[in-house]
Amino acid sequence: MAFGWIDEQAELRRRAGLVRTLRPRPSNSPLLDLASNDYLGLARHPEVTDGAARAARDWGGGATGSRLVTGTTELHTELERELADFCGVEAALVFSSGYAANLAAVTALAPHGTLIVSDAGNHASLIDGCRLARGTTQVVAHADPDAVRKALGTHDGAAVTVSDTVFSVDGDAAPLADLAASCREHGAGLLVDDAHGFGVLGTGGRGAAEGAGLAGADDVVVTLTLSKSLGSQGGAVLGPARVIDHLVNAARTFIFDTGLAPAAAGAALAALRLLRREPERAARARAVAGELHARLTAAGLEAVRPDAAVVSVRAPSPEDAVRWAADCRAAGLAVGCFRPPSVPDGISRLRLTARADLSEGQIERAVRVIGETRP
């Protein structure tokens, strides 16, 4: 039978407790949300939704074409200018998703003959970028600048090190300054995915690279998503103008993809302007994460100390993690549930998001529910 192997895989998945299901979310969900990536609480901010609505009215429901044909509106270039200015880099290029931005950056910056040194904990989109790139990938130990230095030392030609700035599973930060130093010793480039750092780390949320003193460096390229701190949708690559020009000419997920929807660009631009005006949102997200961690740990739970806004709580098994998340949900709390194959080390976790707009009462309630439902 065609696709017969799918049923075998489904059965294996069921037996391992790894079946995934979709849960459509109503617009007025009563759940307390610690599962989304809306770190700054901007996705439903009236200025952000107005930005989306205005852009859709002015520019239409879609971008109408790829960026090099009709898909670049004045709104796209305005967003790119303001993103670059905010992050202190020469230029930015927006994509239809952070995933597409990562595929673009890795493939375009690692042609044939390039060594790609990739952290073992990197996000799937960076991993897929490595798989698609013509260069050769060497995976190195997690958050280990010495392993990076050693890998770079084995290669004579062009090289690039690829890393998340904040790892999505445990919320721990990469040692960016040390990574940059390792790369510089070998004349290699550094490409970092700041999906979970932008809006939370750095001065007023300018991101992890800015926080590590790397903003505007000519050997550092940053990718990010517009879908987390900015509460919108889409992705971006930021860096030296010559790198961005290269991507316009060589990145397949830029050239062969319809431009970012105007509504998403409008929402992201409104959110970026809000973040500029209210930089304290970044610090608040970090403070909420710290408080969640302290309270969870005091309640005897095994939580990883957060470096940004992701708080990870260990679960004994994939089945326990699923049951724990379901029990939280039944008690009115939405939490993320990470388990194999989405976790590189096989350890299942609850994944909590520390939103800047959570109140003290909500934090207290979340910790109480997680404690009361623990396996």
Ligand X SMILES: Cc1ncc(COP(=O)(O)O)c(C=O)c1O
Chain residues binding ligand X by CB under 6 A are: 97-99, 102, 123, 125, 164, 168, 193, 195-196, 225, 227, 235
Which tokens belong to 171?
Answer: 């919320």
Quickly tell me which residue has 């319809």 as its tokens: 258
Identify which of residues 212 and 369 has a Cβ nearer to ligand X in the complex: 212
Identify which of residues 208 and 369 has a Cβ nearer to ligand X in the complex: 208
In angstroms, what is the minimal distance from the CB of 360 to ligand X? Answer: 28
In angstroms, what is the minimal distance from the CB of 123 to ligand X? Answer: 4
Identify which of residues 164 and 210 has a Cβ nearer to ligand X in the complex: 164
- Write b or e for each residue in 21-54: b if 16 or more Cβ atoms lie within 10 A of its Cβ, otherwise e: eeeeeeeeeeebbbbbbbbbbbbebeebbebbeb
Which residue has the CB atom at the shortest distance from ligand X?
98
d(CA 94, CA 225): 9
Identify which of residues 335 and 369 has a Cβ nearer to ligand X in the complex: 335
Burial bucket for residue 234 (CB in 10 Å: 0-12, 13-18, 19+): buried
Q: What are 95's strand-pairing partners?
A: 235
Which tokens belong to 140?
Answer: 């190195």
d(CA 118, CA 282): 28
d(CA 163, CA 180): 11
Q: Phi first, then psi: give them for residue 283, nearest 5 degrees.
A: -65, -35
Integer CA distances (angstroms), 103 to 40, 96, 124, 236, in order = 26, 12, 10, 11
In angstroms, what is the minimal distance from the CB of 14 to ligand X? Answer: 26
In angstroms, what is the minimal distance from the CB of 21 to ligand X? Answer: 19
In angstroms, what is the minimal distance from the CB of 129 to ligand X? Answer: 10
Identify which of residues 72 and 225 has a Cβ nearer to ligand X in the complex: 225
Identify which of residues 76 and 186 has a Cβ nearer to ligand X in the complex: 76
In angstroms, what is the minimal distance from the CB of 223 to ligand X? Answer: 7
